[in-house]
Amino acid sequence: MLKDLVLKNRSYRGYDSAFRFKREELMELVDLTRYTASSVNEQPLKYYIACEKEEVDEILPLTMWAKALKDIQLPHPGMGPSAFIIICQDMNISSNTTRFQRDVGIVAQTILLGAVEKGLGGCMIGSFRKPELKKLLSLPEHIEPNLVLALGRPAEKIVLTEVGEDGDTAYYRDENDVHYVPKRRLEDLIL
Ligand SMILES: Cc1cc2nc3c(=O)[nH]c(=O)nc-3n(C[C@H](O)[C@H](O)[C@H](O)COP(=O)(O)O)c2cc1C
């Protein structure tokens, strides 16, 4: 079961834009994070939920997608996500953003697995225009955006492959827009 969810939990960059979230569904996903591990149990992470189409459309241009695919602009027009959850750190609780990077990874994966369990999916976006996003969302000074999660109903095919002898881990797309993601073999991970 868990392996199925982990396998389905790909970085989706194309969504069915007709799908809309209810805010409560996104609140449920954030609720999962309350039960996850946190360094010294400080729990400094806070979440901004955007699911109104106008706001999602304003956030989208501040996010960068699949930088490795130089000639492809993703998401394709009309295939953007239906919501964003912006994972932020409350600097009044802790200003040590390095220490809580790991917390960010844990909550991000938890939210995405929760979405996949509902037949949905998302993509972590670490590459985004932070000052502009802070301004757009009117976030107070002590709230520092750390990672953007795009969410929606995936509308693209992603295939996992094995990293070959050349060691190349670069993801790529074929002429049908199928997205391929090479993963290292188990033998190559064990020390
Ligand atoms: C911390 C983190 C930040 C990421 N930032 C971006 C990003 O800014 N834009 C993007 O398109 N993908 C981003 N990704 C997605 C990765 O490109 C993706 O995980 C990788 O290509 C492997 O694909 P997979 O998630 O389907 O296994 C990020 C992933 C992680 C873990």
Instruction: State pLDDT tens for residues 98-117.
Output: 999 999 999 999 999 999 99
Q: Please state the pTM of the whole predicted model.
A: 0.98
For the chain, the average pLDDT equals 98
Burial bucket for residue 40 (CB in 10 Å: 0-12, 13-18, 19+): exposed
Q: In angstroms, rounded to a whole number, what is the distance separating the alpha carbons of residues 175 and 150?
A: 25
Task: Report all structural domains of the chain as residue ranges with CATH numbers, in order of start.
Answer: 2-156 (3.40.109.10), 157-191 (2.20.180.10)
Q: Whose CA is nearest to atom 21 of ligand 1?
A: 171
- Confidence band, pLDDT 50/70/90 cuts, at residue 29: very high
110 lines ligand 1 (CB under 6 A): no
Q: How much is the average pLDDT of 31-48?
A: 98
Q: Which of 76, 53, 52 is nearest to 65 (CA)?
A: 76
Q: How much is the average pLDDT of 137-153?
A: 98
Instruction: State pLDDT tens for residues 146-190.
Output: 999 999 999 999 999 999 999 999 999 999 999 999 999 999 999
Q: In angstroms, rounded to a whole number, what is the distance separating the alpha carbons of residues 134 and 119?
A: 30
Tokens representing residue 19 in the block: 């799908």
Task: State the DSSP H helix or E strand holding residue 43, giving kind and residue range, or none if neither.
Answer: none
- Confidence band, pLDDT 50/70/90 cuts, at residue 52: very high
113 lines ligand 1 (CB under 6 A): no
153 lines ligand 1 (CB under 6 A): no
